[in-house]
Structure 1
Amino acid sequence: MTIRQRLFISFSLILLIILSIIGVFFYTIFNLSEIHKSQTHRYDQIRRVEKLKEYNNSFSWIVLDIVTDYEKMDVVKKRLEKSDKLFKTLIIKKRVTIENSESIIEKQNLQQIFQYFEEIEKLIKYELYELVLISKDEKNFTPFNKNFEKLSFKIDKLLKEEIEYLQTRLDKTEKDRNQFIDTIKVELVFLFIIAFLLSSIISSRITKQIKDKLDKLNKGVLQLFKDDETTIKIDIGKNNELSEITHNLNSYLEKQSDIIHSREELLRNISHELKTPISKAKFLLENLRHNKDNKQIDSLNSVFVDIEELTSKLLQREKLNFAKVNSSKFKTSSLILESLSKLSIDDESKVEVDIKDDFNIHADKYYLTIALKNLIDNAMKYADEYPIVIEASENKIEVKNIAKKLSSDLIYYTQPFTREPNQQLGHGLGLNIVNKIIQMHDFKLDYTYKNPYNIFSITFKN
């Protein structure tokens, strides 16, 4: 598992805990809101019941006034009117009060209370009214008072029970609220502790893992310098970022090692290749000392031309080790014409160009021109008969010449300074340069022989 993946999993776990904390927070808000609604409801219900208690007391005062001042008709009528208003108000409050009851028992108690109020209403409206305003007999309020006090007492008792019930429920809600808050506090503290411990453990493990791998990588680098190694031979595991760094560094070191090896090989081959023309030049110079001979002067000139050509190709090959591909889009015909323009062809009839498909190429035109020019130059140089043929079709350019079949595979001729046995022409660098350029572009170089043609082809990407 990579460090990036470990970090992703770690942060996902921490994020999950944070989301849990946020969830707990909103859950707390929701529950506290519900508790607050419940408390508000019970406070309101207590106020309603307390109001019923006031009504009960009001009826008692009305009855007392009427009984006391029954001879004062104006006082009696006012008190009876007041009782009517109170009873009408009670009818309105009855529905609201009963609807806001929370239990069946509470509802039954409230219904009983209002039933008693209705009985009080009947006592006042009919019995008391008849005693005071209609009856001509001596006023005897004792039976009325007993009935009224009995009902009033029952109402008062039920109201006290209802208030105690509501207060008990309210106290319980308050207690539940406090317990809930305490529980949430514990849960939040627990989640924060888990988040802290988890982040500490994960960060310490990841830090330790990175430190261990960096220490190993550092040892590998030190070993690289100490033991003259070409790659870092330290195992820091697979599927992690540092193993990728090590792999990339090893690839770079291997490439540098190949370049150094190639240069060493090149220097050996250069020293070998230059011995022959230099020896010829020395021999010709010795002859020129004795007699001036134009033929020998021309031979000497060709030797230096040969050295110049070899030097040019060596520099060209060396530049390819550090070349960067600057791609552009161009036609096949443009590439062929530019490659031919770089060659000194004394007779155009020696070259036949057949462009069956002038397709687009996406590549570095400068280097690709060098590659195609070298293939054409080789075809011209080693042809037994002319013309040579340059053919373009289906994302492929073929260079054909009539000559003997090559004695070895293509891979042999793509090595520097390799030629056919007993071959005097060339230096064996042309195909090596071609192959390097083709590999730079990730194209394909092939060789086939179809009697009597040797065919070198470059296949381009679609």
Structure 2
Amino acid sequence: MTIRKRLFISFSLILLIVAFIIGVFFYTIYNLNSINSQQNHRYDQLIRVEKLKEFNNSYSWIVFNIITDFDKIEIVNERIKKADKLFENLSKQKNEIIDNSESEKEKKNLILIFRDFEIMQKLIKEKLYNLVLNKSGDFTVFNVSFEQINVDTQKLLEEEIKYLQDKLNQTQNKREDFLDTIKLELVVLFIVLFLLSFVISSKIITEIKEKLHRLNQGVLQLFKNDEETIKVNIGENNELREITKNLNSYLEKQSDIIHSREELLRNISHELKTPIAKGKFMVQKIEKKDNSQIIKDINTIFYDIEKLTNKLLEREKLNFAVLKMKKFKSSSLILESLSKLSIEDESKVTVNIKDDFNIDGDFYYLTIVLKNLIDNAMKYAKEFPIVIESKNDQVYIKNIADELSNDLIYYIQPFTREPNQQQGHGLGLNIVSKILELHKFDLKYKYKNSYNIFIVSFK
């Protein structure tokens, strides 16, 4: 399993625990809201029942006032009306109070309380009022009956209040117990999360250290035994194996470069054999005959050798080139490239600057690019002038000549040229390609209207 996959699984597991903790948090809020709602409900019910005690006391005072002033019918009627109003208020609250009861026991108790209130109302409106009208003045039997029902109601109310108070205390205790449990659960979850993170990270770090140690041993073995690749078992399906694989690819590439250079040296020796052999032949002819043409030919041969050597050195330097980047105009690059060629007949070149755009690159190396392309255009042109054009972040070098017989990729290889081509060594376009590759610019070729067109794109 890759380290990335292990980290992903570990992170998912930790994320799951965090999600669980968040879930516990919201569960806590939900339950606390539920408990608070229940607590508020019981508190409101307790207030309602407390008011019923006030009604009970009010009935007692009404009876007391009626008996005290039984001979004053106006006061009696006023007290009877007050009793009716109290009973009307009780009737309005009856359903609400009973419906808000939480248990059958509480409901039955409340029904009994309201039944007693109805009895009290009946005693006041009928028996007590009749006694007042008869003006007998004997309220003993009434007092006993009313006192009994009033005391019974008071007891029922106190029982209900005690019941509700106990329920309130239970809710408060439940709330506190719930909070204590949640606190403990959260502490445990955080400890588990910490331990899990520590164990997972320790295991992954240990595994990475062990694999890095193996990789280091493989690198040391590489230098010690002059191996071409790192030979070490990092294990399957992990990132360090990918790193090792990439390192080995790099080492193999370097090995290929070395082999390529060896091949290049062999090609160089092959290319130098011809001018050297010609030089030897000419020297032998000089020994037999003094001829200025032969001396001129020898100079040409050795100039050719010098030119080839310079190009090979120039190509080799590109393998270690460090670009000195700066900004300059395309016109400056074209003019500098032309000045390096020292063209005697300026009518052979037409320069057309349609767009003098900015170029960000190494001025020296890019001058070599244009110089080589212009030099080739001059060498192989069937008609003059050749055309150099600048527009749309591109420089075009055009000449009237035969179309190339192969794709461009063929000619950017070292020592490749047209089969019937005698001039040059096949290194010019290779150098051009290498410099543009360093800049990440492009070289393109097309043939149109008898023109070979080489395009350098600076985009």
TM-score normalised by the chain length of structure 1: 0.70
**Structure 2, unpaired ranges of 5+:** none
Structure 1 position 32, deviation (Å): 1.9
Distance 2:399 2:313 in 1: 28
Contact 1:397 / 1:457 at 8 angstroms: preserved in 2?
yes
**83-92 or 228-237, which deviates more:** 83-92
Distance 2:415 2:223 in 1: 33
Cα-to-partner distance string for 1:293-314 (whole Å, 9 max, x where unaligned)? 9878867765665555344323
Distance 1:5 1:269 in 2: 50
Q: Secondary structure at the match of 1:229?
A: coil
Distance 1:258 1:363 in 2: 32
Partner of 2:14: 14
**2:359 corresponds to 1:344:** no
Structure 2 letter corresponding to 1:159: L
Distance 1:199 1:207 in 2: 12
Contact 2:83 / 2:121 at 8 angstroms: preserved in 1?
no
Structure 1 position 148, deviation (Å): 0.9
TM-score normalised by the chain length of structure 2: 0.70
User: Residue 225 of structure 1 is aligned with which of 223, 226, 234?
Assistant: 223
**2:76 corresponds to 1:99:** no
Contact 2:62 / 2:83 at 8 angstroms: preserved in 1?
no
Distance 1:389 1:330 in 2: 21
Distance 2:9 2:82 in 1: 73
Q: Secondary structure at the match of 1:342?
A: helix
Q: Secondary structure at the match of 1:321?
A: helix
Structure 1 position 31, deviation (Å): 1.9
Partner of 1:443: 442
**Structure 1, unpaired ranges of 5+:** none
Structure 1 position 420, deviation (Å): 7.1
Structure 1 letter corresponding to 2:21: I
Contact 1:375 / 1:456 at 8 angstroms: preserved in 2?
no
Structure 1 letter corresponding to 2:113: I
Structure 1 position 154, deviation (Å): 3.9
Question: Where do 1:204-243 residues align within 5 Å?
Answer: 204-234=202-232, 236=234, 241-243=239-241
**2:384 corresponds to 1:387:** yes
Structure 1 position 414, deviation (Å): 4.0
Cα-to-partner distance string for 1:181-215 (whole Å, 9 max, x where unaligned)? 46535653564355345424532443244234323
Structure 1 position 129, deviation (Å): 5.8
Distance 2:71 2:404 in 1: 147
Q: Calculate the aligned-residue CA RMSD, in Å.
A: 5.4
Distance 1:209 1:52 in 2: 76
Q: Secondary structure at the match of 2:341?
A: coil
Partner of 1:23: 23
| % same residue | 55
Structure 1 position 22, deviation (Å): 2.7
Partner of 2:190: 192
**374-383 or 144-153, which deviates more:** 374-383
Structure 1 position 158, deviation (Å): 3.3
Partner of 1:376: 374
Question: Where do 1:60-79 residues align within 5 Å?
Answer: none
Distance 2:328 2:107 in 1: 91
Structure 1 position 144, deviation (Å): 0.8
**2:117 corresponds to 1:120:** no
Partner of 1:49: 49
Cα-to-partner distance string for 1:361-393 (whole Å, 9 max, x where unaligned)? 96747434423322332344456x543744769
Distance 1:399 1:292 in 2: 44
Change (3 A) 1:413 1:159: closer
Change (3 A) 1:97 1:341: farther
Distance 1:97 1:40 in 2: 19
Distance 1:247 1:57 in 2: 96
Distance 2:458 2:14 in 1: 48
Question: Where do 1:269-348 residues align within 5 Å?
Answer: 305-306=303-304, 308-323=306-321, 326=325, 338-348=336-346
Cα-to-partner distance string for 1:340-359 (whole Å, 9 max, x where unaligned)? 3321323345x465979879
**147-156 or 271-280, which deviates more:** 271-280
Change (3 A) 1:447 1:228: farther
Distance 1:221 1:83 in 2: 110
Cα-to-partner distance string for 1:392-424 (whole Å, 9 max, x where unaligned)? 699784654657987x88666544456678987
Change (3 A) 1:380 1:42: closer
Structure 1 position 261, deviation (Å): 4.4
Structure 1 letter corresponding to 2:28: T
Structure 2 letter corresponding to 1:52: L
Distance 2:420 2:256 in 1: 30
Partner of 2:145: 147
Structure 1 position 321, deviation (Å): 1.5
Change (3 A) 1:189 1:97: farther
Cα-to-partner distance string for 1:254-294 (whole Å, 9 max, x where unaligned)? 554455445555556666767887899999999999x9998
Distance 1:200 1:151 in 2: 73
Structure 1 position 28, deviation (Å): 1.2
Question: Where do 1:406-445 residues align within 5 Å?
Answer: 414-417=412-415, 425-440=423-438, 441=440, 443-444=442-443
Change (3 A) 1:13 1:3: same
